[in-house]
Structure 1
């Protein structure tokens, strides 16, 4: 299977002959993401219909000396050719040559020499990202990256470097860039070995993760067209998301400032009687809902504790990491239909008649008169 990774040109410089000499970080270790159709087009491993497949590239693959040397002496092209570059089409596609390869931290760096003036001008105009075209042997299974990411496949071996293409957009990101350094670290014998090495015939080539059947020109063109359309759509989406992210960040900052001011105002303010009444009513409502949900409320529990008790009872371990805001939202949702007993004045029933009011009045009057005349009888 053939892959294409990306890097970015930066800080190029001219030689005495007018050539453009640059050093580029050409590949990195880590996890690369592809669609299932890209890595398993025939569904041999059951991954074809997965949206994302993580492919691991470890140090043993990226910094393998034989793999790195396979790029030395290979051409630099403008865009990816629809066929592998070889001795029969080299003049048609080559704009320059890869002169050396070495490790630069966690990256594999190439020394590049652009020799075509039109390609040099195009580079100066902004076509500065690069995409490596190469063959790789893929292993499928369960693999874990150093950061803990689970991968369904890994590049076990980079078999053959074929070319480096200048493209508008790349996959690997801005960490793959060129820095000022000496050009051509490789010995002439290394270059000669790579140039004279017999290349294996290539039937397919992968460009930005899409497998291109180069034996069929129509299929190759259709695949490349699909790639360009997908890349343009993805670029537009990323631009939109970046703009939205900036807007959201500004909104969050404004809200934080508003919350801080409100917090200070509340701390400085003294509650009014109405506020105290409202708070009492709110507590009574929350307490009533909790009791309706079968939760026992104690005097030691405040509103937050009561709401959390209701949520914990209904949701169990699911709510163990809920914040106070999450608890409040869940409480409202869980108790929206709760039947709360009326906390207002309750009727006590019909009045009980204990005697005729007129008879009681007359009897009291007679007792008063008798007391004045000394005729009131002493109680037995």
Structure 2
């Protein structure tokens, strides 16, 4: 895995050829902070990497600092023989030594543009290297928590940069640029910065915050995660409100249906009146046309009677009101027919019939008998 680590240098001198020579601290032990995307964990905003002394000062790691090409900022990929002539601005020397918690090496800037960048204030250094990263939580002997451990460090190049991940004391010279001072020189214990050294202003909850580009990336990711979480909460709230509204509508419909059913329940008096009206209708229908009207509606009974009495043509294309009126007329006509009325009323009285001839015959027979 390709990583970068920022350091600074000590005393500086110029050679007769115009080169810039210095003895630099180029690596350190301890915990340094990286973006998760820099160490293969884009799911994490930041990762605290611990560089144990036994890994930093391992013999193979120390030998890898010697004769490394120097670059102006980091190239997109590791420096190789194919790219060296395009990106190299100088190189490191071979006298690699331990200096407390640091690794120190001599270096030389040979490119005129790189030397001008140094004179303009670009004084810090950043190692480009590969390492094995083991993700495990822990705490250093100094009490610093970490998320992963770096092992098998191997250097590739050393870049001249504007800001160092290792801190303000790690720089070329004494911290003063030609013609001016470094405002960070009095704060050698400042927090470690990220690899991208440019600064920008970002808005956090409506407040402007100045930070490095790398920190801005982390802030942006956290803000997007917060926005996504808020969107998810709003979506869930909307879905919940929709579900509640649907349940409220279902309850309202059930209540309306219940009230409608209650309104359709007849009282005893209403039921009696309905039974009487039904009986009267069937009796009237049978007086006109005797048939089985079981299961028929009132309208169907009236229509059946009219059809039986007058034929289908009498009701073809006619409204229910018309058919009801024709039925009522038939009922009135039936009341005018005495035979029908008698059958309807169930009359039992009989009218005496005078047969005077028969009575006279009986009387004569009786008289003759007496004589």
- TM-score when normalising by structure 1: 0.45
Q: Which has the higher contact order (CA 8 A, sep 6+)?
A: 1
- TM-score when normalising by structure 2: 0.46
Higher radius of gyration, 1 or 2? 2
